[in-house]
């Protein structure tokens, strides 16, 4: 799958298209382009300026933009489908809310998913 097809925010999609329009999801090229495309996003309005949005949802906590951003990042960087990314991201936010043990991290869940897919 092309990584760009996983990006739901049109502004980030346009930036990504300039950087790596043909990058495959899960590739180093996609990961690098993703990092560059989202660099500088403002995640909260505590400094008095409005937070950025992502996928038409605010990036302020509780407005939904962070969830969409995380799901798209998982799809672009790791090659997961949207349904898989939703399961991984939902587990991450439950972990944060419950302040679970450090062994149960987003990185750990992605590694488990990759192992189940046969990806190292």
d(CA 62, CA 76): 23
pLDDT, one tens digit per residue, over 28-44 is 999 999 999 999 999 88
Q: What's the number of domains the chain is made of? A: 1
* Residue 97 confidence (pLDDT): 54
pLDDT, one tens digit per residue, over 42-88 is 988 988 999 999 999 999 988 999 999 999 999 999 999 999 999 88
Exposure b/e, 37-46, CB count within 10 A at least 16 = b: bbeebeeeee
* Residue 118 confidence (pLDDT): 81
Domain range for 76 is: 3-117
Check: CB of residue 9 under 8 Å from CB of residue 55.
yes
For the whole prediction, is pTM greater than 0.95? no
d(CA 76, CA 95): 22
pLDDT, one tens digit per residue, over 52-62 is 999 999 999 88
CA distance to 15, 20, 45, 68, 90, per residue, from 39 (Å): 10, 15, 17, 16, 23
């Amino acid at each position: 799958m092309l990584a760009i097809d996983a990006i739901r925010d049109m502004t980030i999609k346009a930036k990504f298209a300039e950087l790596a329009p043909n990058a495959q999801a899960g590739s180093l090229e996609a990961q690098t382009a993703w990092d560059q495309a989202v660099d500088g996003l403002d995640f909260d309005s505590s400094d008095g300026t409005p937070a950025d949005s992502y996928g038409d949802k605010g990036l302020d906590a509780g407005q939904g933009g962070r969830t969409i951003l995380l799901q798209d990042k998982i799809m672009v960087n790791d090659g997961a489908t949207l349904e898989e990314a939703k399961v991984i991201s939902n587990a991450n936010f439950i972990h944060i809310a419950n302040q679970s043990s450090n062994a149960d991290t987003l990185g750990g869940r992605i590694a488990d998913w990759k192992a189940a897919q046969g990806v190292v």
